[in-house]
Amino acid sequence: MKADAFIGASNLGLSRPVTSVTFAEAVKKGLGKNQGLFFPKKIPKFDDVESILAMPFVERSVEILSTLIGDELPRETVAGIVERAFVFGAPLAKVTDNVYTLELFHGPTLAFKDFGGRFMAQCLVAISDGQPITILTATSGDTGAAVAHAFHGIENINVVILYPKGKISLLQEKLFTTLGDNIHTVAIEDDFDACQQLVKSAFDDPDVRDGLHLNSANSINISRLAAQVCYYFEAVSQLTPAEREDLVISVPSGNFGNLTAGLIAKVMGLPVKHFVAATNLNDTVPRYLKTGEWTPHDTVATLSNAMDVSQPNNWPRIEAMIELGLVDKSVISGDTVDEEYTQVSMRQLAQLGYVSEPHAAIAYKALVRKMEEGQTGIFLGTAHPAKFRETVENVLGQPISLPKPLADCAGKEGLSAELPCDYQALKAHLFSILS
């Protein structure tokens, strides 16, 4: 692909582009006009996907990302970015004879967001030309940790993370509040929505936006999405040729970035017959797939809190892929798993010898409901069960140990500032720590 190979569009659909940008601009901007999403103008297809699958993970990821980004970044630049970002694997774990889970929690913060967060960080280093950048983002847990660890110690980049005081697990909090150096964390005396509003206010304020060189590392950044495509190829590469012939992948879905990445992988030639969009009680998409009516309900709090999204902001990308004829709507089915069956699924997995957290358990339950005889299934394991230790222990009635990243930070003191939910107080704080 050439320069200006990415489009941004309104949330009504990417088939109606409003701007055309380079990859670097898309990464730096995060969002287009009117909160539009960036997306490749063209998704290339590999002529020989079997040879791609035969490559090692890092080498294959360089091939995938170079193909998606095009000639804007030299191949050796992309290779360096990937080598620095993907320093951990994504193994398939066998659950039953024909069901596997893709473990995406072997990175530093034990969640799938490590792939996209680290790739984005290295992209920004490569394209920023040494210019100062301030990453400002809000988190309800996992995003903050992934972003903090991805950017920790990177010269000329400061990170400020807002989070709701007392409303995330202590272990999640310590993963990003104990780092220090260029990572600044602020506990806001309000909820997550209020944190998001403070971030929006900062981006709307030219004094802060321009004066502090603001950038957002939110989950819909095109670089984070592109990185996620790679682990779908890694999953399929670990199957036998026979298992690849009739493959179903179940994706625990909140904002639907993960499913979007899987569909991009399919367009590029990955042999996946069907995707299951697995949700909790926040079931806007499964209902839409059945009725054709987009009718979001109020968001419901669940055990699988990372999926508590009633208006998923990545869905326009999927809708655009369908509109443009890149994928057929029939390759996606939706399924909703309620609280009771989430717990049932966790216990069923434990009986099979696999300890899982609520999000993956939902994906497993939806997978076994939708699979047909003779098919092979993969469900995504998006976080280590220890990140939801209390929930997992309560449901299973058994203790689970802390992996090293959590054990290492558990006894450390958090370094957060505390602020009321007041934009002027935040603005003053930002200039005091960054000027």
Q: Are residues 49 and 29 part of one domain? A: yes
Q: Quick one: pLDDT band at residue 130, thresholds 50, 70, 90? A: confident
Among candidate residues 385, 415, 376, 365, the one with its CA nearest the CA of residue 186: 415
Residue 121 is assigned to a structural domain of this protein: no
Q: Are residues 235 and 285 part of one domain? A: yes
Q: Are residues 322 and 177 part of one domain? A: no
Q: Are residues 229 and 162 part of one domain? A: no
Q: How many Cα atoms are found within 13 Å in the side-chain-facing hemisphere of 300?
A: 14
Q: Are residues 313 and 230 part of one domain? A: yes
The 3-class SS string of 220-261 reads CCHHHHHHHHHHHHHHHHCCCHHHHCCEEEEEECCCCHHHHH
Q: Quick one: pLDDT band at residue 8, thresholds 50, 70, 90? A: low
State the average pLDDT over residues 385-412: 92
Q: Are residues 278 and 354 part of one domain? A: yes
Q: Quick one: pLDDT band at residue 14, thresholds 50, 70, 90? A: very low
Residue 251 is assigned to a structural domain of this protein: yes
The answer to whether the CB of 103 falls within 8 A of the CB of 90 is yes
Residue 291 is assigned to a structural domain of this protein: yes
Which position has the token pair 């992988």? 265
State the average pLDDT over residues 170-185: 92
- Which tens digits make up the pLDDT trace of 96-112? 999 999 999 999 999 99
**Residue 307 burial by Cβ neighbours in a 10 Å radius (0-12, 13-18, 19+):** buried
State the average pLDDT over residues 296-321: 88
Tell me which of 413 and 11 has the higher pLDDT.
413
- Which tens digits make up the pLDDT trace of 243-297? 999 999 999 998 899 999 999 999 999 999 999 999 999 999 999 999 999 999 9
Q: List the domain range (segments joined by +) for residue 168.
A: 132-212+409-434
Q: Are residues 338 and 231 part of one domain? A: yes
DSSP assignment, residue 288?
H
- Which tens digits make up the pLDDT trace of 324-361? 899 999 999 999 999 999 999 999 999 999 999 999 99
Q: Are residues 167 and 237 part of one domain? A: no
Q: CATH number, domain at 145?
A: 3.40.50.1100
Cα–Cα distance for residue pair 346/358, rounded to 1 Å: 7
**Whole-model pTM over 0.75:** yes
Q: Is the pLDDT of residue 160 over 50?
A: yes
- For the chain, the domain total comes to 2
Residue 117 is assigned to a structural domain of this protein: no
Q: Is the pLDDT of residue 18 over 80?
A: no
Q: Is the pLDDT of residue 414 over 80?
A: yes
Residue 261 is assigned to a structural domain of this protein: yes
The answer to whether the CB of 47 falls within 8 A of the CB of 10 is no
**Residue 301 burial by Cβ neighbours in a 10 Å radius (0-12, 13-18, 19+):** exposed
Q: Are residues 19 and 159 part of one domain? A: no
The answer to whether the CB of 377 falls within 8 A of the CB of 368 is yes
Q: Are residues 359 and 246 part of one domain? A: yes
pLDDT of residue 243: 97
Tell me which of 41 and 12 has the higher pLDDT.
41
Q: Are residues 367 and 236 part of one domain? A: yes
Cα–Cα distance for residue pair 15/364, rounded to 1 Å: 33
Q: Is the pLDDT of residue 383 over 80?
A: yes
Q: Are residues 61 and 152 part of one domain? A: no
Residue 78 is assigned to a structural domain of this protein: yes
Residue 19 is assigned to a structural domain of this protein: yes
- Which tens digits make up the pLDDT trace of 402-411? 999 889 988 8
Residue 119 is assigned to a structural domain of this protein: no
